[in-house]
Amino acid sequence: MNLLRGAIRTYAWGSRTAIAEFTGRPTPTPHPEAELWLGAHPADPAYLETGGGAESLLEVVAADPIGQLGAASVAEFGDQLPFLLKVLAADEPLSLQAHPSAQQAADGFAREEAAGVPLNSPIRNYRDRNHKPELVVALDRFQALAGFRDPGDTVDLFRALDVEALTPYVNLLAGQSDADGLRALFTTWITLPQPSLDVLVPAVLDGAVRYLSSDDARFVGEARTLLELGERYPADAGVLASLLLNRLTLEPGEGIYLPAGNLHAYLRGLAVEVMANSDNVLRGGLTPKHVDVPELLRVLDFSPASEAHLHVETVTDGAQTRYRTPAREFALSRFDLADGEPTQVGIKGPRILLCTQGDVTLDGSGTGLKVRAGQSVWVPADGGSVTLTGRSDARVFMATVDADA
CATH fold match for the domains 2-145+250-310 and 313-400: yes
- What is the mean predicted confidence (pLDDT) over 385-392? 93
Work out the number of other CB atoms within 10 angstroms of the CB of residue 167: 11
Percent residues over pLDDT 90 in the chain: 89
Question: 322 catalytic, yes or no?
Answer: no
Mean residue pLDDT across the chain: 95
Sequence-separated (6 or more) residues with CB below 8 Å from residue 79: 61, 62, 65, 69
By three-state DSSP, how is residue 168 classified? helix
Percent of the chain with pLDDT over 70: 99
pLDDT in tens, 148-172: 999 999 999 999 999 999 999 998 8
CA 266 to chain centre: 8
Binding-site residue set for Zn(2+): 97, 99, 134, 264
The amino acid occupying position 228 is E
Q: Of the listed 283, 334, 351, 395, which one is catalytic?
A: 283
Task: Provide the 10 A C-beta neighbour count for residue 218.
Answer: 12
Number of Cα atoms under 13 Å in the Cβ half of residue 223: 23
Strands 245-250 and 331-336: unpaired
Angle between helices 220-232 and 194-212 (to 10 degrees): 140
Query: Domains of the chain: which residue ranges?
Result: 2-145+250-310, 149-244, 313-400
- Contact (CB, 8 A) for 84 and 39: yes
Q: What is the pLDDT of residue 348?
A: 82
Q: Which residues are annotated as a binding site?
A: 97, 99, 134, 264
| Structure confidence at residue 405 (pLDDT) | 38
CA-CA-CA-CA dihedral for 301, 306, 309, 313, to nearest 10: 140
In the predicted model, is pLDDT for residue 51 greater than 90?
A: no
Q: At what angle do helices 178-190 and 151-161 cross, to 10 degrees?
A: 50
CATH class for the domain made up of 313-400: mainly beta
Give the three-class secondary structure for 254: coil
Residue 403 — very low, low, confident or very high, per pLDDT cuts 50/70/90?
A: low
- How many whole angstroms separate alpha carbon 203 and alpha carbon 226? 12
The fold of 2-145+250-310 is Jelly Rolls (2.60.120)
pLDDT band for 263, please (50, 70, 90 cuts).
very high
Average pLDDT over residues 135-149: 98
What pLDDT is attached to residue 53?
87
Give the pLDDT band of residue 340 (cuts 50, 70, 90): confident
**pTM for the whole structure:** 0.94
268-286: pLDDT as tens digits? 999 999 999 998 999 999 9
Indicate the pLDDT class of residue 197, thresholds 50, 70 and 90: very high
pLDDT on residue 36: 98
pLDDT classification of 352: cutoffs 50, 70, 90: very high
Query: What is the reported pLDDT for 52?
Result: 80
Greatest Cα pair distance in the chain:
71
What would the pLDDT profile of 64-120 be if each residue is shown by its tens digit?
999 999 999 999 999 999 999 999 999 999 999 999 999 999 999 999 999 999 999
**pLDDT class for 326, splitting at 50, 70, 90?**
very high
CA nearest neighbour of 343 among 358, 363, 323: 363
